[in-house]
Structure formats: C-alpha cells, structure tokens
Structure 1
Amino acid sequence: MALKATIYKADLNIANMDVHQYGDYQLTLALHPSETIERLMVRLLAFARFADKALEFTKDLFETNEPALWEKDLTGQLVKWIEVGNPDEDKVKKASARCKQVAIVTYGTAVDEWYKRNSKLKTLSNVEIWQLSAQSTEAVQALCERTMQLQLNVMDGEWTLIGDNAQATIEWTQLQ
C-alpha cells in the first residue's frame, strides 16, 4: 500500500513594505512521503516570494512534469513557473520557452555545484535563481506545524517570518 501525503495548512499574512504588497493567503501544502520538512517550508517561502492570488502549489513530486508552484492566467496559459531545489536544466529550458517568468528557489549544500553544472541557465533571460541560506532553512523548520499561523514582514530587504512559538530571519541571495 502506497504512503499518502500529509496535509499541512498555513494562514500566511504578508506585509512586504519594500514592494507594497500586503495579503492574506490560506495555503494547503501536501508533504510527499519522500519530502522533508525543510523542502516543504522552502516551498512555502517560494510562495511568499512570488505571492499572488493565482499562484498555486502543484502535484510537484507526484507529477515530475510540474514545478513546485505555477501561476496561470484566465485562459489557462502558464505565466509563472517556480521550481524548488536543484532542477534539471532541460526542464527549466522547456519552462522558459512556455512561460513569461521562471524562478528557481535553491537551498542546501549542493547549490554551487548544481549552478556550475547547469551553466546554460545563464543564457535564459526570463529565469531568475534565488538561494536560501542554510541558517534560513534550518530556522524556518522550527515554525512548521500541521496548522500554522504565519506573519511575514519584509522591510529594507530583511525578511522575518513569525510563527506562534518562534521566528526566523530569511536570507536570500539572487544568483541570476
């Protein structure tokens, strides 16, 4: 019998003073049996970075042809394609041809090696790559609960994610 996903719910309030974006989002995230809490929370941070009412979590690990998140316009056309981790270069190139904006949110110890190995990504003008620091992904895991109430404050480039019992400073580096 196959293992099923574990469902997490997050009420995320975003106050991004840098870009004047404010919103409340009720998110449902499915933790795939092979997925870590770290990756689950990175997906949540990826949502926060590109937050929009039309942005959706996909089947991702259940369906390898989908990214972690995507946004479609009213006609069903893909607008944003957001990958989490260190995706295959060919998958990113295909997404780049299909979407206006492609983003990759990387984390972990193998990012530098992955980025060097996938040097053709640098030629894609609509692809941006963001790296989360190890301290950020470690700290954000402490906020993870099956039901989360989270407040994200962004001011002067400083990201602070606040939960019921802890808070985490999120450090982003734009690689591309």
Structure 2
Amino acid sequence: MNDQDITAFWDRLSDVNAGFLGTQSGAARMVPMSHQLRDGDATIWFISARDTDLAEAAEQGSTAATYVVGEGSEGLYAVIEGKLIQNNDPALRDELWSTVADSWFEGGKDDPKVCILGLVPQTAEVWLTPKSGLSFAFNIAKAQLTGEHPDMGSHGAESAADLERLRKSA
C-alpha cells in the first residue's frame, strides 16, 4: 500500500463505529467494541469495563490482540494486530467519554468500573474497496465486457512504523 492508501485507511477507520477485539492468546474472546481515534495518535482506543476478559488481560501488562473491522459502506476491511494496553489517565478518559459510554456506566465517567483500553498497532492487513455500490457494479460490468479482472481497490499489509508515521502526520 502507498502512503495515500494508508491515509485512506485511517480516514475510513475514523468513520467506522465498531469492530471485533480479542486477544491472540484466546484469554479474551472476540467481542464487538466501539473504538475511537485521536488526532496524531496511532493507538486505537476503547472504553470498557474493568471486569471484562479484555480488561483483565490488559491489566496483566501489554498483551497481543487483534481488532477486525469490516464495513462495506466505507469500503474498509482490516485485521489489525498489536499490543493491548490499559491506560488509567483521567484526562484521556475525559477526552474519550461519550453519551454512548455514559449509558453503560451507572456512575458515569467516574464509575470505578470504567477502564480505557488501547490497541497499539504492530501490523495491519487492509483491504480498501470502492465505497460506492455503483462503482462496484461498474467494475464488475467492465470486467465482464473486457475479460479483465475488476479493479476492486487496494490491499496490503503494513508495519507499525508506517501506520504510526502516517497517522502522526495527519
């Protein structure tokens, strides 16, 4: 993938609401999670509860995790692998807090069960496809007429250094 594709990955990921997060060891099963991104930060953030498998795994120290995202309307499919960390900084919690999160915790953002998890990407395998259904249909029709394979976007695997460099420059 080129720099433009990696930038498109971060842009599209910011428009997607959720994916599946789990540890690679199986200590925490894959669960649907809503993520948040911060400008200039390659970490993918999650608000969770302390008594979940994910939070308990992260509490033991950084643990290998996988985040899977698939969103056809955004043309983004990705498997992001990295280290799951826990961050108890109240300022970060305040920054990430939302009305959706507030509905899950009786004590609001000060509820002792609130836990902030972060996935620090190490690699990502990404597929970027056309966002428009019309573009998809056109590519299929063109392929049928020309006998060529349809242009279905780009695909590549990226390292943490490339993901972070391009995220910080955004």
Q: Give the TM-score normalised by structure 2.
A: 0.26
Larger Rg, first or second structure (1 or 2): 2
Which has the bigger relative contact order, CA under 8 A and spacing at least 6?
2
Higher helix share: 2
